[in-house]
A and B are shown apart, each in its own frame.
With several copies, the nearest count.
Chain A
Amino acid sequence: MALDTVAIASTTPDQVQPFAELGLKGDEYQRIREILGRRPSSSELAMYSVMWSEHCSYKSSKVHLRQFGEKAPKSDALLVGIGENAGVVDVGQGYAVTFKIESHNHPSFIEPYQGAATGIGGIVRDILTMGARPIAVMDPLRFGPADAPDTRRVLPGVIAGIGGYGNCLGLPNIGGEIIFDQTYAGNPLVNALCVGVMRHEQIKLAKASGPGNLVVLFGAKTGGDGIGGVSVLASETFGASGPAKRPSVQVGDPFTEKVLIECSLEIFAEDLVVGIQDLGGAGLSCATSELASGGSGGMEVELEKVPLRDPSLSPEEILMSESQERMCAIVEPSKIARFLEICEKWDVTVTVIGKVTDGDRLIITWHGEVIVDVPPRTVAHEGPVYNRPMAKPGYLDQLNAKVLDIPMPKNNPEIKAAILKLMSSANMADKSWVTAQYDKYVQGNTIQSQPQDSGMVRIDENTHLGVAISTDANASWSYLNPYEGAKLALAEAARNIATAGAKPLAVTNCLNFGSPEDPAVMWQFAETVRGLADGCLEMGLPVTGGNVSFYNQTGDVAILPTPIIGVLGVIQDVRTHMPMSFDVADLELYLLGETRADLAGSQWAYLHNERGGQAPLAHLKNEMSLIDLLLESQSLCNARHDVSQGGLTATLTEMVLENNIGATVTLEGDLATALLSETPGRVVVAVHKEKAQPLIALASKHKIAITRIGDTGGKSLTINDVALELNELRAAFTGTFPKLFG
């Protein structure tokens, strides 16, 4: 079959089109016909089908995500909000910071190395697109059971991919998470966060304005990557002979991206672009329609000018290709010469493929024939919106009502065994087998990285201004109560910023869920968004952007609802940052916050396959007081560490092992509960003796419970009458990953 043009489409209204194979519903296809007043050409069909996919259009989540705008707290810090490639916040001194999380879950299951690598590549381009220099990455991850054979395939590949791509870009990896759970087998979560910094006046937006301005494509050549789905169109176009094979896997080239970053930054520095957009999901379809839609609407593109890696690509395929390491800029004609010169300097392929017009249609031609003629807003921003049915899962009440029946350690030998068991379990064990594969020093601005509570980077060497970021999610709690779970994750991330000495400022998120077509999953999602929006309002933190990943499920079984919450904070002087571990003996140890019997959803429950019970409730007022206390007591403390998964056991173990200085601790009440409960809102603090009184006074001012729990020093962690030699504890803690993954 020959080229399908708009002219042909107008005269062949009855031609049958494979919209269902492209994932469009019957009524969605009808809507496209109504918008265009005719059937779409095959190129238009390709564009609408990708842009109206769940991934690009947010059709199931949009009605819920609105709350982030509606409930948004007043914040002077927000410079660019939801809707752009990434949100931007003001961090003072004329600096703006942009950060965002994206998921690359499914591709990482298919081809772990390339899937994860291109996940990093994609989020870095989103940050670059805002006009910012990317300065660090983070990687919250979830896998199936640690000892499952498939995890042994997926995890090392994912780690190598994240390291391989991020290291080659020269971006320090400053944090992340690795959690294992049965529900992630077959659905690993590979979320990637990037943070970037720029001056206020350098912020760039995705808009094509100014008729006569040029549409410029630069970066890698376009190949057939990631267009498996569109091959139905290609096969029609090519007829019986069939197109060359199309890869379903995208392969990344970090070197090309590194050069693209430097080239783009030089272009930005000389103020040579009017608007810019990266090419990610849906490739050119997305970039052209979003740029046009962001401006006044008119754009003409000559598609045959796109430089190809594979000359056999059809126009439909070129529009949908997800080849990596490409950008699309809008450039004034008077600046194009300099633009091309900079690309030449960096050996970056660059082509003018079209121009902005004063019309309101996006028109794409192929060797002179019009193959696309659409109102761009209908492609990019006015896709279908669904209010999907939702229902609280039937099992939940019963699950919440369950009285926990977990074996608790009863005597000293059992306590000791429990500590070793917990700290050597894959979820709690030392992750340096992973993090040693990531460059954390590059750029010379990393103040904190793994295994600290949050990652921290300096953004100005002279004024010492810095930012801290933490990502957190507790899917076990979200499973028991998605509304509270979202708030708790937010609180934890904010707390992790404050323990390090930074003030929480803004929020990003990546919402990983099962199928939105399952009312129970949709309910989990809606409750999560409601919880996060309420929580952000209460804590005064704006949501600046994020990402939704649906369809993470195997058959009927969805993953645990996993809202990864990222909080960004500011620290005026990075030299005052607070590490998680003490490096001297004879400090006093205090616990801030109260411990209750919160074992539901805990790691100890997980180790005993207990999923039931009631998640703790989030007390955000209290969390905010705790944060105030942490920020005000900065100069009094020597070290402090958040209490979260694994309870006090994990906090104390991590503190003593980090610098190899032990501690003697005395805990009141039931020792097993004190050690294993995961009550939120707690922090362990180490202070010099003479600073203890002022700290206690501040705590009482902020109405935060403070308990003296012990002293630092020695070569063991001794809790009441249970003594663990640091070497023994270390062996348990550090042995697990090398044993599992070599």
Chain B
Amino acid sequence: MAKIVVDVMLKPEILDPQGQAVGAALPRLGFTFAQSVRQGKRFEIEVEGDPTPAQLAEISKAAETLLANPVIETFVVRVEK
């Protein structure tokens, strides 16, 4: 079993109220180091055996059509051990 991770983030120009809210809450809790916070999604997909390049391409396709909305989001696909 291998784990493929797809990270989906809002494009930088799209408003991210969730990230903003976290960014605003951190200093109230005494954490003052953050310059900015963005919140996105992380998908962990389990596949049988070591993923082939063809499989990874398919997953990229799935990310583009379903997991992310290219109008507002970007994504990265990677294999995690």
Write the residues of chain A forming the contact surface with B, with a CB cutoff of 8 angstroms: 110-111, 114, 220, 223-225, 244-247, 249, 251, 253, 255-256, 309-310, 323
Closest 10 pairs between A and B when the two form their complex, measured CB to CB: A253-B17, A251-B15, A247-B13, A245-B13, A111-B71, A247-B14, A224-B13, A251-B14, A249-B72, A223-B15
Q: Are A244 and B71 in contact (CB under 8 A)?
A: no
Q: Cβ of B72: which chain A residues have Cβ within 8 Å of it?
A: 111, 114, 247, 249, 251
Q: Are A223 and B17 in contact (CB under 8 A)?
A: no
Q: Which of B15-33 contact A (CB under 8 A)?
A: 15-17, 20-21
Which of A225, A245, A246 has a CB less than 8 Å from the CB of B15?
A225
Q: Are B14 and A249 in contact (CB under 8 A)?
A: yes
Q: Cβ of A323: which chain B residues have Cβ within 8 Å of it?
A: 15
Interface range, B side: 10 to 19
Write the residues of chain B forming the contact surface with A, with a CB cutoff of 8 angstroms: 10-17, 20-21, 69, 71-72
Give, as a whole number of angstroms, the nearest-CB distance from A261 to chain B: 16
Q: Cβ of A245: which chain B residues have Cβ within 8 Å of it?
A: 11-13
Q: Are A256 and B17 in contact (CB under 8 A)?
A: yes
Q: Are A249 and B21 in contact (CB under 8 A)?
A: no
Interface of B is mostly: loop
Q: Are B17 and A111 in contact (CB under 8 A)?
A: no
Please name the residue on chain B nearest to A251 by beta carbon.
B15
Q: Are A223 and B69 in contact (CB under 8 A)?
A: no
Please name the residue on chain B nearest to A248 by beta carbon.
B71
Q: In the complex, A244→B13 CA distance in Å?
A: 8
Please name the residue on chain A nearest to B71 by beta carbon.
A111
Q: In the complex, A455→B38 CA distance in Å?
A: 40
Q: Cβ of A220: which chain B residues have Cβ within 8 Å of it?
A: 15
Which of B17, B20, B71 has a CB less than 8 Å from the CB of A110?
B71
Q: Cβ of A246: which chain B residues have Cβ within 8 Å of it?
A: 13
Q: In the complex, A246→B69 CA distance in Å?
A: 16
Please name the residue on chain B nearest to A742 by beta carbon.
B21
| Additional A-B contact list (4), CB under 8 Å, known A246-B13, A253-B20 | A111-B72, A247-B11, A255-B21, A256-B17
Pick 27 A–B contacts, CB within 8 A, sort by A.
A110-B71, A111-B71, A111-B72, A114-B72, A223-B15, A224-B13, A225-B15, A244-B12, A244-B13, A245-B11, A245-B12, A246-B13, A247-B11, A247-B13, A247-B14, A249-B14, A249-B71, A251-B14, A251-B16, A251-B17, A251-B72, A253-B17, A253-B20, A255-B17, A255-B21, A256-B17, A310-B13
Q: In the complex, A270→B13 CA distance in Å?
A: 37
Please name the residue on chain A nearest to B15 by beta carbon.
A251
Q: Are A253 and B15 in contact (CB under 8 A)?
A: yes
Q: In the complex, A220→B20 CA distance in Å?
A: 11
Q: Cβ of A249: which chain B residues have Cβ within 8 Å of it?
A: 14, 71-72
Give, as a whole number of angstroms, the nearest-CB distance from B19 to chain A: 11
Q: In the complex, A249→B69 CA distance in Å?
A: 12
Q: In the complex, A220→B15 CA distance in Å?
A: 10
Q: Cβ of B15: which chain A residues have Cβ within 8 Å of it?
A: 220, 223, 225, 251, 253, 309, 323
Q: Cβ of A309: which chain B residues have Cβ within 8 Å of it?
A: 15
Q: Cβ of B14: which chain A residues have Cβ within 8 Å of it?
A: 247, 249, 251
Please name the residue on chain B nearest to A114 by beta carbon.
B72
Give, as a whole number of angstroms, the nearest-CB distance from B29 to chain A: 11
Q: Cβ of B16: which chain A residues have Cβ within 8 Å of it?
A: 251
B10, B13, B14, B16 — which one has the most chain A CB atoms within 10 A of its CB? B13
Please name the residue on chain B nearest to A223 by beta carbon.
B15
Give, as a whole number of angstroms, the nearest-CB distance from B11 to chain A: 7
Give, as a whole number of angstroms, the nearest-CB distance from B40 to chain A: 14
Q: Cβ of B12: which chain A residues have Cβ within 8 Å of it?
A: 244-245
Q: Cβ of B71: which chain A residues have Cβ within 8 Å of it?
A: 110-111, 249
Q: Cβ of B21: which chain A residues have Cβ within 8 Å of it?
A: 255
Give, as a whole number of angstroms, the nearest-CB distance from A641 to chain B: 37
Give, as a whole number of angstroms, the nearest-CB distance from A154 to chain B: 13
Q: In the complex, A375→B10 CA distance in Å?
A: 40
Give, as a whole number of angstroms, the nearest-CB distance from A741 to chain B: 13
Which of A111, A114, A223, A256 has a CB less than 8 Å from the CB of B13?
A223
Q: In the complex, A45→B62 CA distance in Å?
A: 43
Q: In the complex, A88→B17 CA distance in Å?
A: 33
Q: In the complex, A223→B13 CA distance in Å?
A: 8
Q: Cβ of B11: which chain A residues have Cβ within 8 Å of it?
A: 245, 247
Give, as a whole number of angstroms, the nearest-CB distance from B78 to chain A: 24
Q: Cβ of B20: which chain A residues have Cβ within 8 Å of it?
A: 253
A111, A223, A253 — which one has the most chain B CB atoms within 10 A of its CB? A253
Q: Cβ of A225: which chain B residues have Cβ within 8 Å of it?
A: 15
Give, as a whole number of angstroms, the nearest-CB distance from A265 to chain B: 22
Q: In the complex, A310→B13 CA distance in Å?
A: 8
Q: In the complex, A114→B17 CA distance in Å?
A: 12
Q: Cβ of A114: which chain B residues have Cβ within 8 Å of it?
A: 72
Q: Cβ of A224: which chain B residues have Cβ within 8 Å of it?
A: 13
B10, B12, B72 — which one has the most chain A CB atoms within 10 A of its CB? B72
Q: In the complex, A224→B13 CA distance in Å?
A: 7
Please name the residue on chain A nearest to B16 by beta carbon.
A251
Q: In the complex, A671→B12 CA distance in Å?
A: 60
Q: Cβ of B13: which chain A residues have Cβ within 8 Å of it?
A: 223-224, 244-247, 310
Q: In the complex, A310→B36 CA distance in Å?
A: 13
Q: In the complex, A223→B10 CA distance in Å?
A: 14
Q: In the complex, A646→B29 CA distance in Å?
A: 36
